[in-house]
Structure 1
Amino acid sequence: MTQLFLPLCVACLALVFTSAAPPPTTQTAEVAIPDRCDGIEFDAITPDEQGKHLFFKDGFLWKGFRGPAQRVAESFSDIGRVDAAFRMHREGSTEDHDHVYLFQDEMVFRYFNQTLQEGFPKKVEQEFPGVPCHLDAAVECPKGECSADSVLFFKGSEVYHYDVATRTVKKKVWPQVPPCTSAIRWMEHYYCFQGHNFTRFHPVTGVVVVGAYPKDARAYFMGCPNYGGGFGGAHELPACSEVKFDAVTSDNAGRTYYFTGPSYMRLDTSRDGKHAFPVTRMWPEVAGGVDAVFSYQDKMYFIKGDQVFIYLSGAHYSLIEGYPKTLQEELGVQGPVDAAFACPGDHTAHIIQGDQMKDVDLSATPRTVTKATTLRHAKVDSALCGPDGLKLFVGSSYYEYTATSELGAGQVERMPSPITPSMMACRRD
């Protein structure tokens, strides 16, 4: 697929449509359906507007990390083979935000909900001035991870940084990154695929984590036998009625995390789908699960046993020097702790132990309990406070409140709501 030195292409539209949709024949040769666990080289990978990843190979398509292949034409009309693909990130633009772009030779096709958009296909140079055709790979790079909402286009050893707003291009060569046959952005990380291996790279500098890559995609991005089951494991999704959260919190960037046992799931966005990971993947010092987690300003507090771990929030969390410390030293309470939460803009940590909620002033030194409340709930597993109110999780259900003043034993009883698949990766009973 890689072509190193071709200039921008100008081609006859008739030839493009002929290659995109070959005329029917009276006798069609049977094409073997590829098995991605054989270690194939993908032509393109992209998430769709629902967060499900699409893997393309020789006119076939896999939806998600598991499942059989189907023909591309069954989901995307007017195109068969795909050279490169990406999902556009452009918040505030209803025209193309979360639309999927598929590239074939000199042309680009734009889809939303698998429907080809009016005016497409177009020539690549018409839609993305300065970007070559016959691409090898493409991936979105939103503002904050790149300097502006951008797309990275790969062709041979060259990388084209395309600024979506200004429609300008900067060409670069990244010596550490191998020529990519496909590329994806996933959970704010960037991966270049070559064959069945992948390498993680920085989207601005092209720096690769030394010594850790390449890795085999079959052990991560798909559920293959004897390869560990991929991200989130190969196990069947639990029934929603079996789910129990040990902790829930949202950080100052709006990222929401649910913790259960030794795993966590990030649920603030559906753009990358819903996947479970070991807690130690993001917070390596916290092993074997947590008792409670809450966020305050730019920090995330993990309570485990009689210890408190405090991390600085960011794309990559870092443990603050000197931690962990004891619960008594940090928050002025004795363990164990069942749940904890802090509401945005408030300086109070609410520590729940059995049917008691203790308020701790986080702005004071030393920190001590300023108020104790008897709750109407005998046991709370986890709690989350955000702009839309307060949720207390008990087993596989949750209770909604508008303020902490409503939690007392003498307040009006609330009806529980069940945890649903829209909240996390679980299946209906």
Structure 2
Amino acid sequence: MKLLTKTLFLCLAIWLTNGAPAHQPDAAVAAVPDRCAGIEFDAVTPDEKGTHFFFKGSYLWNGFRGDAQRSNLTFRELDDIHSIGHVDAAFRMHSKDNPDDHDHVYFFQNDKVFSYYAHTLENGYPKSIQEDFPGIPTHLDAAVECPKGECSADSVLFFKGDDVYVYDIATKTVKTKTWPHLPACTSALRWLEHYYCFHGQNFTRFNPVSGEVSAAYPKDARHYFMSCPNFGHGGGYTVPKCSESKIDAITTDDAGKTYIFAGPIYLRLDTQRDGVHAFPITRTWPKVTGGVDAVFSYTDKIYMIKGDQVYIYKESAPYTLIEGYPKTLKEELGIEGHVDAAFVCPSEHTVHILQGQRMRDIDLSATPRVATQDRLLTLHDVDGGHCGAEGIRLFKGPHYYQYENAQTLVDSTVAPEPQKITSAMLGCRD
């Protein structure tokens, strides 16, 4: 009996030390990816609030900052129903004609599609891709939405290998394209009306209709889409503090897009849901270098004044310079001299040009354009001006001055109390 017992213990010891699997470190902990080390994303998408999610394997990053976290902490039901493993593709739906789908986030995995809203899986999902998106293949590489105006109709671009499947949301029809000059996209993103194909640790911006790529790409994603040590976010441009703000111009176009300009950069204010980010002016208006003096919008066009030159661009993307421009201030508006600010009030045809202490009114519907009124103002040497539903605001340093309308502005004998620019107004940092 003693011999048997000893034999059993000996066998157990041998199994524990040799036959049993050695203790392995937690694979989930060991495999946590670091996007600042340079990785290839599986999918990128904003949610209904504009928060961007970057996916890699079973992990995601919530926004442009922070460490990776397990995907099932944010999209729990997806993992409960079907082990997430990784996401093949994802996009945020743009379909205002169908509010039941608008702003929902779609995830694709193998042959399934999952629809989320407010981080909650919609009833009836997951479904087969063919059920929701007939004609779209399985095992996708990437997907991105393309609203009408940027594409011919509200669409989704699906990427697989060398093929791009353009899916019309309303008609559920598919057109297949091949863009050999675009790298193979492992994820794609529409951000601030521009389209990005991610590949490796890089990204390439492309035209969603033609697939055309600028010669300036690819670029390292760590400079633009995340905050990483030793990498300049946004190419080195940062949003200023409100107490240090000094804008050069501000305008709202007919489509409701509001832009502010400061030095060589601009920001979009109507897209705060997707974050306020600074970009070089030449990124959107390549001929306008070295900043602007004044900007105003009128009849689907944006007028940009720099020195004695006027540049007129179509206001919709891509922002195309009107043929024959730039022209001189004298040719275009019938005036000369430095312009401090310019603005057009909604539904009006008069641009108010501020030069030092003078305000000159020019009828934009007249030919030739000449100053119809020339008046002195109490407030002078402003940095920028804007006219909207809130009235007229003139900006000077980190402050602004509020007027009810143009008549109140010219009748005023005392400047109103200056008010501080806030982050809610201009997207600056508190």
Matched, 1:105 2:110: yes
Whole-angstrom CA distance in 2 between matches of 1:200 and 1:281: 11
Matched, 1:142 2:147: yes
Q: Which residue of 2 aligns with 1:277?
A: 279
Q: Is the 8 A contact 1:223 1:234 kept in 2?
A: no
Matched, 1:55 2:57: no
Whole-angstrom CA distance in 2 between matches of 1:319 and 1:398: 31
Q: CA deviation at 1:185?
A: 1.6
| Structure 1 letter corresponding to 2:62 | K
Whole-angstrom CA distance in 1 between matches of 2:158 and 2:370: 55
Q: CA deviation at 1:155?
A: 2.1
Deviation string 1:291-312 (CA, Å, 9 cap, x unpaired) is: 2111222432222233333334
Matched, 1:75 2:74: yes
Q: CA deviation at 1:322?
A: 4.6
Q: CA deviation at 1:28?
A: 4.8
Q: Which residue of 2 aligns with 1:218?
A: 222
Q: CA deviation at 1:394?
A: 3.2
Whole-angstrom CA distance in 2 between matches of 1:71 and 1:119: 24
Whole-angstrom CA distance in 2 between matches of 1:275 and 1:43: 24
Q: Is the 8 A contact 1:376 1:410 kept in 2?
A: yes
Q: CA deviation at 1:404?
A: 1.6
1:418–1:49 distance in 2 versus 1, CA, 3 Å: farther
Deviation string 1:357-386 (CA, Å, 9 cap, x unpaired) is: 211222334433211333343443211223
Moved more, 94-103 or 299-308: 299-308
Q: Which residue of 2 aligns with 1:233?
A: 236
Q: Greater CA radius of gyration, 1 or 2?
A: 2
Q: CA deviation at 1:87?
A: 0.4
Whole-angstrom CA distance in 1 between matches of 2:260 and 2:179: 37
Q: Which residue of 2 aligns with 1:292?
A: 294
Q: CA deviation at 1:65?
A: 2.9
Whole-angstrom CA distance in 2 between matches of 1:329 and 1:207: 35
Q: CA deviation at 1:269?
A: 2.6
Matched, 1:363 2:365: yes
1:204–1:332 distance in 2 versus 1, CA, 3 Å: closer
Q: Which residue of 1 aligns with 2:335?
A: 333
Whole-angstrom CA distance in 1 between matches of 2:195 and 2:417: 43
| Structure 2 letter corresponding to 1:308 | V
1:182–1:403 distance in 2 versus 1, CA, 3 Å: same
Whole-angstrom CA distance in 2 between matches of 1:406 and 1:177: 54
Q: Is the 8 A contact 1:232 1:276 kept in 2?
A: no
Sequence identity percentage: 61
Tell me which stretches of 4 or more aligned residues in structure 1 moved more than 6 Å: none
Q: Is the 8 A contact 2:237 2:265 kept in 1?
A: no
Q: Which residue of 1 aligns with 2:159?
A: 154
Q: CA deviation at 1:137?
A: 1.0
Q: Is the 8 A contact 2:143 2:187 kept in 1?
A: yes
Q: Which residue of 2 aligns with 1:188?
A: 193
Residue ranges of structure 1 left out of the alignment (5+ in a row): 1-26
Map 1:305-316 → 2, pairs under 5 A: 305-316=307-318
Q: Which residue of 1 aligns with 2:37?
A: 38
Whole-angstrom CA distance in 2 between matches of 1:289 and 1:353: 18
Q: CA deviation at 1:150?
A: 1.1
1:312–1:409 distance in 2 versus 1, CA, 3 Å: same
Deviation string 1:60-90 (CA, Å, 9 cap, x unpaired) is: 2123333322222222222343221100001
Q: Which residue of 1 aligns with 2:354?
A: 352
Q: Is the 8 A contact 1:47 1:86 kept in 2?
A: yes
Q: CA deviation at 1:124?
A: 2.3
| Structure 1 letter corresponding to 2:57 | D
Whole-angstrom CA distance in 2 between matches of 1:113 and 1:374: 53
Whole-angstrom CA distance in 2 between matches of 1:151 and 1:318: 24
Q: Which residue of 2 aligns with 1:19?
A: none
Moved more, 288-297 or 29-38: 29-38
Q: Which residue of 2 aligns with 1:304?
A: 306
Q: Is the 8 A contact 1:292 1:382 kept in 2?
A: yes
1:410–1:221 distance in 2 versus 1, CA, 3 Å: closer
Q: Is the 8 A contact 2:188 2:198 kept in 1?
A: yes
Number of residue-to-residue matches in the alignment? 400
CA RMSD of aligned residues (A): 2.8
Moved more, 388-397 or 290-299: 388-397
Whole-angstrom CA distance in 2 between matches of 1:122 and 1:219: 37
Q: Is the 8 A contact 1:50 1:270 kept in 2?
A: no
Map 1:194-205 → 2, pairs under 5 A: 194-205=199-210
Whole-angstrom CA distance in 2 between matches of 1:310 and 1:279: 14
Q: CA deviation at 1:387?
A: 5.2
Q: CA deviation at 1:182?
A: 0.8
Residue ranges of structure 2 left out of the alignment (5+ in a row): 1-24
Q: Which residue of 2 aligns with 1:395?
A: 397
Q: CA deviation at 1:417?
A: 4.8
Map 1:244-283 → 2, pairs under 5 A: 244-270=246-272, 272-283=274-285
Whole-angstrom CA distance in 2 between matches of 1:173 and 1:337: 48
Q: Is the 8 A contact 2:150 2:317 kept in 1?
A: no
Deviation string 1:111-170 (CA, Å, 9 cap, x unpaired) is: 223233333333322222232332211110111222211111222233222221222333
Q: CA deviation at 1:339?
A: 0.9
Q: Is the 8 A contact 1:342 1:385 kept in 2?
A: yes
Q: Which residue of 2 aligns with 1:410?
A: 412
- TM-score normalised by structure 2 residue count: 0.83
Q: Is the 8 A contact 2:308 2:328 kept in 1?
A: yes
SS at match of 2:423: coil
